[in-house]
Amino acid sequence: MSIAMKESLAAEVKDHPAYSPGLEGVIAGESALCLVDEGEAGLLYRGYPIRDLAEDGTFEEVAYLLLFGHLPNQKALQDFSAQLIDQAVLPRLLDVFLGAVPLGAHPMDIVRTGVSLLGMVDPDAADHSRDANVRKSIRLLAQLPLMVATSHRLVNGKPRVRPRENLSFTENLLYLLTDRKGDDQAKAMARVLDTSLTLYAEHEFNASTFAARVTASTMTDLHSAVTSAIGTLKGPLHGGANEAVAEMFIEIGSREQAEAWVREALTKKQRVMGFGHRVLKKGDARSAIIQQHAESLSRICGDHRWYEIATAVDHIMQEEKGLRPNLDFYTAVAYLLMAIPRTLYTPVFVCSRIIGWCAHVIEQQDYNRLMRPRAFYTGPARREYVPLDRRT
């Protein structure tokens, strides 16, 4: 590019708002759903501190809060839980699709396509009203665990199972994925899994949520917006971190091997998964919560290997790089102890974040303005068109 062209472009920049690569730090909208703050406020869901919700509430309460704007009373929660059991049914079209999924299909591709298909046969498919979107959201929340588990079971030659009416949403999710239910370890696992779902449920304008809101801003249907979010989450720069952390722990193998493994990775400039966050530069408050539960579950299960590897890696990364773990890091310890199939870690994330996405879609369309940002042009200056027969 010539000096004159660069000067021309520089002059144009003065007439444009500041450009931020990746929209980092850019305020792109308003939301009453979640406050992500590194200060005293911490992480709030509709004003409630995340630690209070994770320690004293349940994921079903959090899902209700995000969807309706307030915590449920006992009767409202009972009705909501009953709806989740009642709506945990896959339509015939989904059964046909899941039975035809090719071996080796990526689980997130199955979830993405499955949600799109559900949008075609949802009873409220033609109704885009707010009330209809709330009903669709509840159905999606109920259907996703069954979709994820059924597809995995069919691919692996295991029999289908149905959610049980005497189990909570999270107890059913654990049962569908691992066949665990009822015993003391299963109850402890379900409690830790419930905490992780609460912590994953919502996190402001992350990539997948923003994709859902951009899609929703066209006033399309809720399932289309959620499909956009799932496709975005599949990308390795956004989703899959807890899977990668678990694979790292397995590769390390033991606490004794952790220091050498991490130092070699750092020497080779390889990324150590589970550290750092695009927004939370000073650490992720959710990490401390799930770490406590991972340690407790390790004691209950009598298996300390994964937690010991994790704490060793954590110590070295803080010592060498000044980096603290994010939510995915100790969540991987908990999911390894639960024996959740590693390829399903991100689909399990979807089973939680689906309620955040749906709440954002509803909020976007309640106060909608089509999202249409601008791009800073860096191509050539104006050029004259030369007819084909005169080009050399």
Q: So which residues are the catalytic ones?
A: 277, 328
CB contact set of 363 (below 8 Å; sequence gap of 6+): 31, 32, 33
Strands 34-36 and 43-45, by their bridges, are antiparallel
Distance, CA of 149 to CA of 340 (rounded, Å): 11
Report CA-CA distances (Å) from 122 to 98, 197, 353.
17, 25, 20
Q: Exposure string (b/e) for 181-217, b if CB count within 10 Å is 16 or more?
A: beeeebebbbbbbbbbbbbbbbbbbbbbbbbbbbbbb
Distance in angstroms (rounded) separating the CA atoms of residues 157 and 342? 17
How far apart (Å, rounded) are the C-alpha atoms in residues 181 and 186? 5
| CA–CA separation, 253 and 118 (whole Å) | 41
Nearest to 181 by CA among 196, 194, 170: 170
Question: Exposure string (b/e) for 18-48, b if CB count within 10 Å is 16 or more?
Answer: eeeeeeeeeeebebebbbbeeeeeebbbbeb
How far apart CA 234 and CA 15 sit, in angstroms, is 37
Q: What share of the chain is helix, strand, coil (3-state, %, to 5)?
A: 60, 5, 35
SS3 call for 174:
helix
The SS3 of residue 371 is coil
